[in-house]
Amino acid sequence: MSVINWGIIGLGNIAYNFASAFEQVKNSKLISLASENNEKLEKFGKQFNIKKDFCYNGYDEILSNNEVDIIYIALPHSLHSKWIIKCVEAKKNILTEKPATINLAEIQKINQDLNKCNLFFAEGFMYRFHPQTSTLVEMIRQNEIGELNEMESCFGTNIVEKKNIFGFRKLKINKENRLFKKELGGGSILDLGCYPSSLSILIASLKSKGLENKVKLTDIKNTIGPSDVDLEAYVKLNFQNDFVSSISSSFKSNLGKMTKIIGSKGEIIIPDSWHCKSSMINVNGREHIINQKYKNIFSYEIESISNSLLNSELNPKFPAITRNETELNMNILDKWINKNET
């Protein structure tokens, strides 16, 4: 087998962007779709040339398709856990959109189940697969800024006022929209804050491997909106190895996507930490451009995961997020949401 066959569950905006990336990847093929919206299913199927027999109205049947090697779960946050477990039961490899779950208990249960089987699992932080992130890691390992001390990182945009930014349309704050509904995993922390928290874990691990697993949350400041979810939030992550990361998320303010990493010999600034469109890293005032033709960011994720599967590997390649990091990240998010400074 030289090509990995993919199926997608859930056909929202992110699934469309993900599906569009397959034309740029040689070792992967999108062959199957599943949605509860028949009109959307038909439209997707035609656009991406998927056989009608492999377009399923509902999510269960795709799991019985023996030609599908891996399932990409692109459903609302609150449904991730249910369908990850169903994929495990069907013995399907899994890439789930972030966040993998909406609380710590769910990911702990999933990791217990995964420990009992030989399945690939990854959480879809696409920036971790991009050359910008591997270049950043290499710069830190080469001691470009000396010993790591602290980091500042954010992800935020005013989705209530802006017409279209970061893929969001202008939205009203109401409990029926998944971004603002608590039961669906709404709020800026789960939707956006999970990015800077996950990067914090990666950078902390580069200071001293293993100690990044111990982290204390302080200075939590969450602004709760009328639908009872956080509209913007801030927290300081204090890792046991003395690395400190101050992170923030927002649906109200145009915080952008910048990360600053400060060391004993200087600093690194990443203007676009998550979508990597600029593919640029500033090190002590010097700009480093990652030379490459523009590619759909999901193409790096798809290609890397397919390579892992072709090599019979159950974990994504570094610096992709590991299962242990996914659990640690959810632990941080859980405490951040609940203002648990421990």
pLDDT exceeds 80 at position 176: no
Digit-coded pLDDT (tens) for 258-273: 999 999 999 999 999 9
Domains 4-125 and 128-337 share a fold: no
Calculate mean pLDDT across residues 124-140: 97
Fold of 128-337: Dihydrodipicolinate Reductase; domain 2 (3.30.360)
pLDDT of the residue at 175: 59
Condensed to tens digits (0 to 9), the pLDDT of residues 28-79 reads 999 999 999 999 999 999 999 999 999 999 999 999 999 999 999 999 999 9
The Cα 297–Cα 24 span in angstroms is 10
Strands 244-250 and 230-239: antiparallel
What mean pLDDT do residues 156-176 have? 61
Task: Write the pLDDT tens digit of every residue in 79-106.
Answer: 999 999 999 999 999 999 999 999 999 9
Name the one residue in this structure whose structure tokens are 């217990």. Answer: 112
Hey, which bits of the chain come out as E strands? 4-9, 28-35, 55-57, 70-73, 93-97, 121-124, 148-156, 164-165, 168-169, 215-224, 230-239, 244-250, 259-263, 266-270, 280-283, 286-289
pLDDT band at residue 212 under the 50/70/90 scheme: low
pLDDT digits (tens, 9 = 90+) for 263-312: 999 999 999 999 998 788 999 999 998 867 779 999 999 999 999 999 99
Residue 193 has pLDDT above 80, yes or no: yes
Instruction: Return the domain boundaries, the chain.
Output: 4-125, 128-337
CATH number of 4-125: 3.40.50.720
The confidence score (pLDDT) of residue 166 equals 45
Average pLDDT, the chain: 92
Instruction: Give the pLDDT of residue 179.
Output: 75
pLDDT, mean of residues 196-204: 97
- Dihedral of CA atoms 82, 86, 92, 95 in degrees, nearest 10, equals 0
